[in-house]
Structure 1
Amino acid sequence: MKNKISKIQLHFFLLLGCICLFSVFSLTAEEVHFYNRPIHLHKGDILHVGDSLYVAEKDTTLILPNTVPYFIETRRFTSQEKLDSLQYEAEQSKITEEHYKLAVKKHQSESNDPLYLLEQSQYQFMPYKGMIIRKIEFDHQPVFRKVSESTPRIVKILRNAATKLHVTTKSTVVRDILLFKEGEPLDPFVLAENERIIYELPFIENVDFEIKLREDDPQGVDIIITTKDKFSIGANPGLSSWSKGRLEVYDLNLAGLGHEISTTVAYDEARKKPLYIKDGEYKIYHIGSTFLCGRMFYSDQDVEKEYGFEIQRDALPPKINIAGGLGLKRVHELYTNILNDTTSYWLDYLESELCIGIANDVLRKEKGKSVFIVPTLRLASKKYLFGSGVFGRETNEEVFFGLNFLKSRFYKSNLIYDFGKVEYIPYGHLGELIAGMEFEEDDDRNFYIGFHYSQGDFIFNDILYYYSKISLGSYFDKLLIPNLDRGVLSLKIHFLSKLYNVWDYSVRNFIKIDYIQGIDQPPYNVLYINDLEDIDGFKDATGTGQQRLVFNIENVAFSDWEFLGFRFAFFTLCDVGFIGKSGDNIFQDTGYIGVGAGVRARNESFVFKTIQLDFMYYPDIDGTRKFTLSLSGQPELVLPDFGIKCPKPIAFE
């Protein structure tokens, strides 16, 4: 037994050291990829390269070195009022008039066609780098475009009613979260980051930072920030059977203030009170100009109830360098000892958490290529109010330190998870070293050490995007010659293909690989094959273990069909999962598989979740239904990023 433990310890520390060395090398190395990249222009696009521009008179592909900054000018706002104002400005000279005709022609004639783009988010602002910002103006576009004469009467009535019900986002909501101000030199990276922050607000459909040169000041520019809201009131029904269902209702932009309020009403015949409030939340996305986000919440799940509040502030270096969070919640949880499934306990406890981090630009190269070092500290406490006898203690406290090494930026693209809206693809590196202690009663303590490393970027001339993350960590009973306890090894790899055309569809392929293994985990800590995260729609409580490997393959075809503002995408998927004992050959463990197909529909002008209808087939699984048909609202999906998080033990789940 001693030899086995020492071998595990040796492998653990060797792997931890390799991850640390590799991450430091990657973070300090220059990211220079020398290759020529194709630039795809649609008819009417305007390509800006330095002080020059090229107007595409037809669909064109140009070849540029990847080191040459450029941006493609397109008009994403197509309401008639916006086009009229653009036309008036353009007609002031013959050249700009021709540019206008070319730039808006596509949207007037082919507005139903999603426009694909891929560019580094700062490139469109590079020609104005260092110029002085003289004025910042705001423009809000109508939430709905004007309807045509041929639009059915009922649609006109409903759209007019929704327009009257909608409250436009207050200008102060956007102004309070600007990272720049009048009188400052224009920094393309800061503007790109700020545009992303506004884009990711769930009640904003589009945002455009338009830079206008000033005639009275050759070194000055005005910035016009144009936003278009989504209709913020929505509902999300869910029906799993005739005896069980739910309805979520929400307003993501209450009174135009950037506040969210939501609640879910559920029905379950198996409960004593079949109709009940499943959850509720009140959230403020940005509290004034502090960049603080706060929320109060309540949740009533089958085996757990909780309520509490959270306040947090994300790091956005180099502008927002101090980050952190504060949280408090009370939990009423049913704990079941799986070693004796007839024994269950109700636990009642308070959880509190405090976290702080400070970003430092210590390895500065040039703007946009800096490496930030972010030390973090987290204090957490769990106090048992009832049921402490289950674990033989009344309190549990943790102190964790983190040291992050961050270098990241974003590409702008679309047709990934949404149906045409601009989406952001992160690229770069993030390494985090974690160390901490867990305090229990009677001066009993456990030490912890762990490490995360993640990176992502396009490879093979932008044909394939990859994101990978490896995590390794464990508790120890003592610092010298420690015994591993509750250790975790985790590996996640995501692949995203370039968008390509098949007939009249724009197609992407997604591949996810997720592996997790427990290291000297106690027997009551087990993994499951989870619905949605692992195998879509799969439910089987018997599939447990301390090692899990999941493959998810999905092909999505975005169509150019449009019905009442809804766009459609068709998909096929295949999910394969293995689960079993830690240390065994994972491919010889119990395997599960699910294959399916379906359709998704989304209207970007509304905050309604994506509607998904799917059909799944599970071959050779005893004790479960082999076919499922479900209709549900899908949560908002985004690619994993390189955001700084509070230092915590690696989750075994």
Structure 2
Amino acid sequence: MPYLHPPLKPLPLACLLCLLLLCGSVCQAQVQPQDTVQQQLSPQDTTAQNFNDRVIQNLKQMSERKTIMGKLLKALLDFDRNEEEVYGLDAELIQKEYELHSYKIVRNIDILTLDPFGYSVNDTARVPRNFFEKAGNSLHMKTGRGEVRNKLLFRKMEPLEPLALVESERLLRQTRHILDARIIVNEETTTNDSVDVFVITRDIFSLGGSGSYTPSSGKGRVTLRELNFLGQGHQIEGTYKFNLNRPRPWEVAGFYTIENIGRTYITADVAYVDENYYKEKSFSLHRDFYSLNTKYAGAVGASWVDERILLPAQPDDSVARYGFVGYTRQDAWLGRTLRFKSYNLGYEPRGRIILGARVINTNYNTAPTDNFQDNTLMLASVGYSIRKYYKDRFIFGFGRTEDIPVGTLFSVTGGYQDGDVWDRRYFGSSLSFARYGTSFGYLYSRVGYGSFIRDDRWEQGVLDLEAMYITRLAEWGNWKLRHKLLGRGTFGINRYPEELLSINNESGIRGFRSDLVRGTRRASFNYEANLYTPLSLLGFRLATFVYADLAWLSYGNQSSPFSQKPYSSYGIGFRLRNEFTSFSTIQITLGYYPQLPPNGNMRDFRLYESSAPFYDFRNFQFDRPGVAEFY
């Protein structure tokens, strides 16, 4: 069940909204200086000066006053700083010039790691210029060069494999504590049989956190995280909640991750969660298909879970009914890729055949119904994957370089479940693809189906459909606009009574919350327009958005969700994000809900904060064999 944020008090948040909008006006704007000569030649330019230029000019004049506000603005804001130019965007990462260096010997690898504030991977001459940048860097421990070297897919004095340069750059950029990375071949020293490589990375400020507090009830939450402990890439996160309702006033959760242990690309995860209605202790070691050339992947893990689940509502129920389930689980899987031979030196085919096998052993110590049985599930899958990446900005980030996955993934999974009470087979299949173009945008589509088969009866089946389209970036100076559209459908087939879908938050309608609005078939449509502004305060960039959400629910195998009246939401909000830090995106949303749930816990208008992403890329990296999810 998705986490529901508690409603916030309208008056304080309304004041905060006004304050932040004022701060958006009182901000640094990354605009090009105007040509004064051209203004003299074209007087109409001064009268047709755009809104952004007028705001910046007024704020600059305010900062020159000898008042408290003027001194504060002068200390905090930089009006003359231009937006950093990023090279190589809108280009496929598989660049032709890199193919010229395939199978050459890597003679030298020079690594430069940069602090988060004031530096640039595209301009190494840039240095921190103000007190805040220098102070922030003094509190930060840079990533060790050995940690960067462990991420590289090429080694000194070894032949350079095809795609190794661009895949290494992508892996560095996808590391949580690294903001951006560039890998450059020194063309001046390159020979016919050897190359020198220069690697530049820029960190984020890895120490961060978040929190919330509701004055009326005294409830609150504090989260602290360190994504790069001692510069070694270890990730630590802890959350504490206080002044909660029954049965206990506090909750705690902790997570610890070690990435890429000893150059093996094996990651260790440890989790401890002690909440009122969910408890978990888990440990796992896993190695993913992190690059196109990865041959082996797999994982082993164990978990102990106790949680509360929602039970089907009875006709006369006015409140939700719950049951408790507790289990232990051991999980192991292994995968192997097979790549096609290429007789063209320097060209690497992107297509891969992937084989996988998995065993999951589950033992229940608490079960609310007879549908939960101890069992061992054995799965095997075969798939075909083609994937590549492009680079762009302002899709989900606020100006950082983003890697856009495109390609095709097809898989077929079969298995057998050996249970204490009954045995059954499993069959599943999925197909997905994505395309990207600078003038077209990004399009993703997926269809998947999976079901168990017991005594020739198909049960616990699910048909899953998804399509997402993101328009190309429209720009007006430093103002940028993108539209996002997402359509999803989840159709349960002979599901168990306690398996129910919701439309809460990321499941359908953002800001929606109800335990009684449930079903077995769901369809949803989400639209969002994002306007990225040139306004920022202390590195926090401002983006505004409007959205519209629709969701349909029905119950039963023969029912159609479109036969029911849809729930909907319409709203507006803004986001603040500093890409140089590990702080979550600050998002404030005002939503309107024409149709309210029957439990009466919502109002027509709701002002709330959320940091959970609603849209995201779907990768074409083959994952472990599994059962089609129903949530």
TM-score, length of structure 1 as denominator length:
0.77
Deviation at 1:637, TM superposition (A): 6.4
CA distance in 2, matches of 1:389, 1:216: 67
| Equivalent of 1:495 in 448, 469, 481 | 469
Question: Where does residue 136 of structure 1 map in the other structure?
Answer: 109
| Equivalent of 2:532 in 558, 573, 578 | 558
5 Å-filtered alignment, 1:151-190, equals: 156=131, 159-187=133-161, 189-190=163-164
Question: Where does residue 236 of structure 1 map in the other structure?
Answer: 210
Whether the 8 Å contact between 1:114 and 1:560 is mirrored in structure 2 is no
Residues 590 and 543 of structure 1: is their aligned pair in 2 closer, same or farther, counting only changes over 3 Å? farther
Question: Where does residue 93 of structure 2 map in the other structure?
Answer: 121
Question: Where does residue 10 of structure 2 map in the other structure?
Answer: none
CA distance in 1, matches of 2:356, 2:370: 30
Whether the 8 Å contact between 1:559 and 1:569 is mirrored in structure 2 is yes
Question: Where does residue 18 of structure 1 map in the other structure?
Answer: none
Higher relative contact order (CA 8 A, sep 6+): 2
Question: Where does residue 20 of structure 1 map in the other structure?
Answer: none
Whether the 8 Å contact between 2:206 and 2:226 is mirrored in structure 1 is yes
Instruction: Please state if 1:606 is matched with 2:596.
Output: no
CA distance in 1, matches of 2:162, 2:594: 53
5 Å-filtered alignment, 1:285-296, equals: 285-296=259-270
Instruction: Please state if 1:412 is matched with 2:391.
Output: yes
Residues 502 and 487 of structure 1: is their aligned pair in 2 closer, same or farther, counting only changes over 3 Å? same
What is the letter of the counterpart of residue 455 of structure 1?
A: F
Cα deviation per residue 1:30-75 (whole Å; 9 max; x = unaligned)?
A: xxxxxxxxxxxx99xxxxxxxxxxxxxxxxxxxxxxxxxxxxxxxx
Residues 462 and 599 of structure 1: is their aligned pair in 2 closer, same or farther, counting only changes over 3 Å? same
Q: Secondary structure at the match of 1:535?
A: coil
Q: Secondary structure at the match of 2:356?
A: strand
CA distance in 1, matches of 2:156, 2:449: 46
Instruction: Please state if 1:357 is matched with 2:335.
Output: yes
CA distance in 2, matches of 1:338, 1:193: 48
CA distance in 2, matches of 1:613, 1:484: 44
Instruction: Please state if 1:308 is matched with 2:282.
Output: yes
Q: Secondary structure at the match of 1:257?
A: coil
Whether the 8 Å contact between 1:395 and 1:441 is mirrored in structure 2 is yes
Cα deviation per residue 1:169-220 (whole Å; 9 max; x = unaligned)?
A: 1111111121112234444522111111110111101111011025484543
Cα deviation per residue 1:482-513 (whole Å; 9 max; x = unaligned)?
A: 22111110001110111012464111111111
Question: Where does residue 381 of structure 1 map in the other structure?
Answer: 361
Residues 465 and 283 of structure 1: is their aligned pair in 2 closer, same or farther, counting only changes over 3 Å? same
Deviation at 1:351, TM superposition (A): 1.1
Residues 652 and 360 of structure 1: is their aligned pair in 2 closer, same or farther, counting only changes over 3 Å? same
Cα deviation per residue 1:320-357 (whole Å; 9 max; x = unaligned)?
A: 21001111111112345425678754333211100110
TM-score, length of structure 2 as denominator length:
0.79
CA distance in 2, matches of 1:593, 1:507: 24
Q: CA RMSD in A?
A: 2.8
Whether the 8 Å contact between 1:374 and 1:405 is mirrored in structure 2 is yes
Whether the 8 Å contact between 2:189 and 2:195 is mirrored in structure 1 is no
What is the letter of the counterpart of residue 354 of structure 2?
A: V
Whether the 8 Å contact between 2:118 and 2:133 is mirrored in structure 1 is no
Whether the 8 Å contact between 2:248 and 2:276 is mirrored in structure 1 is no
CA distance in 1, matches of 2:309, 2:127: 59
CA distance in 2, matches of 1:530, 1:547: 14
Q: Secondary structure at the match of 1:175?
A: helix
Aligned length: 537
Residues 545 and 141 of structure 1: is their aligned pair in 2 closer, same or farther, counting only changes over 3 Å? same
**Larger deviation, residues 193-202 vs 296-305:** 296-305
What is the letter of the counterpart of residue 429 of structure 2?
A: F
Whether the 8 Å contact between 1:317 and 1:359 is mirrored in structure 2 is no
Unaligned 5+ runs, structure 2 = 1-30, 33-79, 120-125
Whether the 8 Å contact between 2:189 and 2:196 is mirrored in structure 1 is no
CA distance in 2, matches of 1:215, 1:129: 12
Q: Kindly indicate which of the two structures has a greater share of residues assigned to strand.
A: 1
Q: Secondary structure at the match of 1:176?
A: helix
What is the letter of the counterpart of residue 107 of structure 2?
A: R
Q: Secondary structure at the match of 2:505?
A: coil
5 Å-filtered alignment, 1:306-455, equals: 306-316=280-290, 318-338=292-312, 344-362=322-340, 367-385=347-365, 387-388=366-367, 390-391=369-370, 395-442=374-421, 444-455=422-433
CA distance in 2, matches of 1:559, 1:115: 21
Residues 597 and 337 of structure 1: is their aligned pair in 2 closer, same or farther, counting only changes over 3 Å? closer
Cα deviation per residue 1:588-614 (whole Å; 9 max; x = unaligned)?
A: 214111111111111111111111111
| Equivalent of 1:540 in 503, 514, 519 | 514
CA distance in 2, matches of 1:528, 1:561: 37
Deviation at 1:297, TM superposition (A): 0.3
What is the letter of the counterpart of residue 119 of structure 1?
A: A
Whether the 8 Å contact between 1:408 and 1:429 is mirrored in structure 2 is yes
